[in-house]
Amino acid sequence: MKLLLTGGTGFIGSHTAVVLSQAGHELVLLDNFSNSKQAVLGRLETILGHALPFVQADVRDTAKVTQALQTHGIQAVVHFAGLKAVGESVAQPLNYFANNLQGTLSLLQAMQAAQVHQLVFSSSATVYGEPQYLPLDEQHPTSATNPYGRTKLHIEEMLHDLSASNPAWRIACLRYFNPVGAHDSGLIGEDPNGIPNNLMPFVVQVAAGIRPALQVFGNDYDTPDGTGVRDYIHVMDLAQGHLAALHFLNAQTGWHAINLGTGQGYSVLEMVKAFEAASGKPVAFNIVPRRPGDVASCYAKVDKAQALLNWQASRGLPQMCEDAWRAQQRNMPSTT
Ligand code: NAD
Ligand code: UDP
């Protein structure tokens, strides 16, 4: 199929581009580089052996997105583009509403104008709010605890209404748990600007000597070792989930919400130990108070993805850590 990937040079978009291209799809990437670098395109070319067509644009530029869809004869869109930092969203909600909500609305208008009705959307486990039971299945009530989460929830609801308005739409909202790791070449990976908000990139930077110590946010949770438990999923497994979702949508109309996780939770201290083993480097840490808004545990029930997509994650924690470390070692964050 001919596919447009918005946010295609970002962390998850670039890894998904590798998987989709290697599966034989024809891709066009679109990004405004607000949180990624042009150098990713060269790295994708090295991995794939050929360049991918690229459009530098903001998804809010409806005319330019429409033109990209029409010029390239696009049949389906995978929509990664958006802002994703929870703390920043609390400080700058309008920026999040503009990028994520307005951006998605613009994309949908462009898709409607170009008669493209197949969409895979990057949603998040954040739409479940505070877990009322575990593991989280897709029937769990949804809610938002911060502006970022609210944008994901609103977008899911917009997409639901849209699919009800016209049976031509085929929409999958993929609710990601905690993507980590990198492509095994080490050429692409997670490249956060400034101080990482998320655990894994922070741990990587401590092991690499870039930061002195990890702050572990609380060790008094109701979990086996007191630290927070999350469902970490290798980004290449997540990427393969998109391939499976596109295949699923070729045979299914309507709106579908599907968890992409492993179903297995690991604590912060288990992550630190696994990373030390993979990298051979010590990861110093201090226990500090809980981070506001964090929950004790969050992990997925993955039966729906297995049943509908015939997909499940296959890469374990050691590989997540080894691949993240290799990307660091290959100096992935540089723009060279
Ligand atoms: P990322 O920041 O690495 O990638 C997002 C890409 O979108 C970046 O390249 C950025 O430049 C681009 N972008 C942002 N706003 C844009 C706009 N208005 N127009 C065009 N391009 C724009 O983030 P990621 O980790 O790859 O996340 C991809 C998607 O997955 C996001 O929607 C995010 O909310 C969602 N998600 C991520 C995680 C995670 O932990 N990484 C978890 C759940 C959901
Ligand atoms: N965490 C931590 N120190 C950090 C970053 C995260 O202890 O510097 C913990 C956090 O409290 C949570 C887990 O690591 O228990 C995963 O946090 P992350 O921000 O990566 O993902 P999310 O909270 O979005 O699930």
Predicted confidence (pLDDT) per residue in 154-197, tens digit: 999 999 999 999 999 999 999 999 999 999 999 999 977 788 98
Contact, 125 vs 300, CB < 8 A? yes
Average of per-residue pLDDT values in the chain: 96
Tracing tokens 């308005």 back to the chain, one arrives at 165
Q: Is the pLDDT of residue 101 over 70?
A: yes
State how far Cα 87 lies from the chain centre: 17
pLDDT at 192: 76
For residue 336, is it within any domain? no
Confidence of residue 151 (pLDDT cuts 50, 70, 90): very high
For residue 187, is it within any domain? yes
Q: How far apart are CA 118 and CA 165, in angstroms?
A: 14
Report pLDDT digits (tens) over 269-299.
Answer: 999 999 999 999 999 999 999 998 889 999 9
The Cα-based distances of 44 to 51, 232, 334 in angstroms read 7, 24, 15
For residue 93, is it within any domain? yes
Name all contacts of 33-41 with Cβ < 8 Å and 24+ positions apart: 33/9, 34/83, 34/99, 35/10, 35/83, 35/193, 36/7, 36/9, 36/10, 36/11, 36/191, 37/9, 37/191, 37/335, 38/9, 38/335, 39/335, 39/336, 40/9, 40/14, 40/188, 41/9
Ligand nearest to the CA of 127: 1
| Overall number of domains in the chain | 1
**Would you call 149 helix, strand, or coil by DSSP?**
helix
Q: Is the pLDDT of residue 215 over 50?
A: yes
- Give mean pLDDT, residues 83-93: 93
Pocket-forming residues, ligand 1, beta carbon under 6 Å: 6-7, 9-13, 31-36, 58-60, 80-84, 99, 103, 122, 124, 176, 178-179
Distance in Å, CA 69 to ligand 2 centroid: 37
Which atom of ligand 2 is least distant from the CA of 200?
A: 20
- Give mean pLDDT, residues 103-124: 98
For residue 193, is it within any domain? yes
Contact, 185 vs 323, CB < 8 A? no
Ligand nearest to the CA of 89: 1
Bridging pattern class, strands 229-230 and 266-267: antiparallel
Choice among 148, 176, 221, 266 that is catalytic: 148
**Structural domain for 265, as ranges:** 2-331
DSSP structure string for 88-147: HHHH-HHHHIIIIIIHHHHHHHHHHHTT--EEEEEEEGGGG-S-SSSSB-TTSPP--SSH
For residue 119, is it within any domain? yes
CATH number of the domain within which 188 lies: 3.40.50.720
Report pLDDT digits (tens) over 292-336.
Answer: 888 999 999 999 999 999 999 999 999 999 999 999 998 755 433
Report pLDDT digits (tens) over 230-282.
Answer: 999 999 999 999 999 999 999 999 999 999 999 999 999 999 999 999 999 99
The Cα-based distances of 332 to 54, 95, 279 in angstroms read 21, 28, 16
Strand partners, 174: 122, 258
Is 148 in the active site? Answer: yes
Q: How far apart are CA 213 and CA 205, in angstroms?
A: 9
Neighbours of 166 (CB within 10 A): 10
The Cα-based distances of 125 to 128, 134, 150, 151, 175 in angstroms read 6, 12, 12, 13, 5
As given in the structure block, the two tokens for residue 282 are 């010590």
Q: Is 129 left (phi over 0), alpha (psi -120 to 50) or beta?
A: left
Q: Which residues contact 292 (CB under 8 A, 6 or more apart)?
A: none
Q: Which amino acid is at 118?
A: Q
As given in the structure block, the two tokens for residue 288 are 């500090």
Distance in Å, CA 224 to ligand 1 centroid: 32
Distance in Å, CA 171 to ligand 2 centroid: 30
For residue 313, is it within any domain? yes
In the DSSP assignment, the letter for residue 307 is I
Q: Is the pLDDT of residue 77 over 60?
A: yes
Confidence of residue 26 (pLDDT cuts 50, 70, 90): very high
pLDDT at 332: 58
Cis upstream peptide for 135 (omega within 30°):
yes
What percentage of the chain reaches a pLDDT higher than 70? 99
Q: How far apart are CA 149 and CA 104, in angstroms?
A: 15
